[in-house]
A and B are shown apart, each in its own frame.
Chain A
């Protein structure tokens, strides 16, 4: 089905103009291109700020839908999300001195320091238990390559903790486990990483060109 003009040609034209000006500005950072790219950056900032609100409202909508469902275990989680959201938003917007809501000593700051930060840190810290359990189950030397990866992982894990140097303290400097870990990171890993980065850069360049030239239109939500 053919998309209406507003939904296809105009966005493609905007992408073409903005993309070309951004490229030109990289080589000629003077008026008018420099000024135009600054304006685009302003628009981008505004759009992203709106997107943050959109995301927050969407989260609320989904949580409300969960709560209003008659069945389902996650309806209580939805209620917790709504209550927490309202608590932080109302405290920040109305009860913490307006623009100065982030300053030390405000009610918002108290909630952030004593509730949000410990909860967020705890959620992330739980990862270590699951990583340990998953490593135990999945990290097997099933092939020669997997064995090589396993040995490299051992050396880096031990070398990145002081216990590695304690274990190889008798070795001359340059041959201790931290040196071996550094060598792995700075040579084989770095070579692989550079190859990946070059590949990604080429991919990004070609994808960007396709977007600018209007060959790639999936971001419009149509074809």
Chain B
């Protein structure tokens, strides 16, 4: 009887070790989808890096000229688009003059989409930002860090036309803006290369840009060493986006997505724990003891 039970127990653990991956997929799918429809929200404390970012943005005067570089494309939109949207909402609130550009081919388009979402916010119903006077989108320029290097000496020869095809010299907001030194502040939302690291190396270190950054979760570890000196603040991943929404006072999509992320993290951890228990439970047998 004991031997039978022992065999049955071992079989269960062994089965768990070789569980069909489709079962894991189903659990993760449920973990992601169900909380999305529950309408639950979770409060979270704002981290030091995001608090620094919000404080740095608060110190920028009203009406300042701010560059928002959206260096990402659709795959990283769930993490980064909420950051762009909340930064643009804050820019509208503070009446910043916004210059959008992208070092990714899709970046400037993502910037456009984020701007449209921000403008449609109820709080800014009465504001009608004028293209060319209140904001401009310079579009995409190929060249990665060479673009930043060139913007440091002459923005007009780097982006000769905006994304609509209008010569930069004819755009009112760009008059008197010759290089990065003329910008009051910069927000970089990036998902990789070229992105925050390049802006830090060529824009901040070289031309003294005052900059904050929003990055994907996987990039956060690489960018942390820059926080404090080169980066005046940083929001990392979905959590960073949700904290930023909270800190700047514009609750949005990232806060909602965090519930899904919470449940998904718990499910993944549960699977890892089960896998390890099964691993140790079958350990003696595998070692031939």
Contact = CB atoms under 8 A, between A and B. Distances in A.
Interface of A: 34, 37-38, 40-42, 44-45, 48-49, 52, 98-100, 102-104, 109, 112-113, 116-118, 120-121, 123-125, 128-129, 131-133, 135-137, 139-141, 150, 154, 157-158, 160-163, 165-166, 173, 176, 178, 182, 185-186, 189-190, 193-194, 197
A136 B153 contact: no
Interface string B254-271: 000011011111111101
Contacts of A123: 75
Which are the 8 A-B pairs with shortest beta-carbon distances? A99-B165, A124-B75, A45-B143, A162-B42, A163-B262, A120-B74, A161-B262, A117-B74
A132 B44 contact: no
A190 B21 contact: no
Contact of B164 (A103, A116, A150): A103
Contact of A132 (B105, B157, B268, B279): B268
Contacts of B75: 120-121, 123-124
Interface stretch (B56-64, B86-94, B109-117, B182-190): B109-117
A102 B109 contact: yes
21 contacts: A40-B146, A41-B147, A44-B146, A45-B146, A48-B146, A49-B142, A52-B105, A117-B74, A118-B74, A120-B73, A121-B74, A128-B264, A129-B28, A136-B274, A137-B21, A154-B269, A162-B258, A166-B42, A186-B224, A189-B224, A193-B221
B221 A162 contact: no
Nearest to B42: A162
A188 to B, nearest CB: 11
A136 B271 contact: yes
Interface in B4-45: 19, 21, 24-25, 27-29, 32, 42-45
Interface in B246-289: 258-259, 261-269, 271-272, 274-276, 279-280
B271 A135 contact: yes
A69 to B, nearest CB: 29
Among A117, A125, A182, A189, the most chain B Cβ lie within 10 Å of the Cβ of A117
Given A117-B74, A178-B47, A161 B265 contact: yes
Interface string B67-94: 0000001111110000000000000000
Contacts of B274: 136
Contacts of B96: none
Interface string B220-250: 1110110000000000010100000000000
Nearest to A134: B21
B140 to A, nearest CB: 9
Contacts of A197: 225
Contacts of A98: 165
- Chain B binding site: helix, strand, loop or mixed by DSSP? helix
Contacts of B217: 160
B203 interface: no
Given A160-B217, A162-B258, A190-B225, 17 more contacts: A42-B157, A99-B161, A99-B165, A104-B116, A109-B109, A112-B106, A118-B74, A124-B75, A135-B268, A137-B21, A137-B275, A140-B276, A141-B276, A157-B269, A162-B259, A190-B224, A193-B225
A129 B24 contact: yes
Contact of A194 (B28, B225, B264): B225
B48 interface: yes
Contact of B150 (A45, A129, A185): A45
B271 A132 contact: yes
Contacts of A117: 74, 77
A122 to B, nearest CB: 9
B272 A136 contact: yes
B24 A162 contact: no
A138 B75 CA distance: 25
Interface in B123-164: 139, 141-144, 146-147, 149-150, 153-154, 157, 161, 163-164
Given A102-B163, A124-B76, A136-B272, A162 B43 contact: yes
